[in-house]
Amino acid sequence: MLAAYLLVQSTWVLVAGFRPHHSPLGIASTAVTAAVMFALAFGKARTGAALVNPVLKTEGRVTLIDGLLAAAVLVGLVLNSLAGLWWADPLAGYVLVYYAVREVKEIFFGED
């Protein structure tokens, strides 16, 4: 579902030529969110492996996607604020679509 949403939203932003606005508080908040998501993903994956719990390991992967999403938004915000590259955020969305689809295939059809 996330991949489908990102695909539609990124395409819409590019086609419409929407120019996102940025703020220092938004950039800082997104940076904190990315750091927390990556820490949670690492902790869940490590705990899931130690407990041999496939559900917790999978949850760690999903949280990693959340961290990647926050990091992509952060990169897009920074590139837009420093260089005026308004299209960086939707392009990062396409990269995340690829990664999310790959992870879904691995979660549902593959083994570790």
Per the CB < 8 A criterion, the answer to whether 89 and 20 are in contact is yes
Q: What's the pLDDT band for 29 if we cut at 50, 70, 90?
A: very high
Say what the pLDDT of residue 103 is. Answer: 78
Domains in the chain, number: 1
Domain span at 40: 2-109
Q: Which 3-state string (H, E, C) describes the chain?
A: CHHHHHHHHHHHHHHHCCCCCCCHHHHHHHHHHHHHHHHHHHHHHHHHHHHCCHHHHHHHHHHHHHHHHHHHHHHHHHHHHHHCCCCHHHHHHHHHHHHHHHHHHHHHHCCC
74-99 in b/e form (b: 16+ CB < 10 A) is bbbbbbbbeeeebbbbbbbbeebbeb
For the stretch 69-112, pLDDT in tens is 899 889 988 998 999 898 988 888 898 888 888 878 887 888 65
Distance between terminal CA atoms of the chain? 23
- Output the pTM of the full model: 0.75
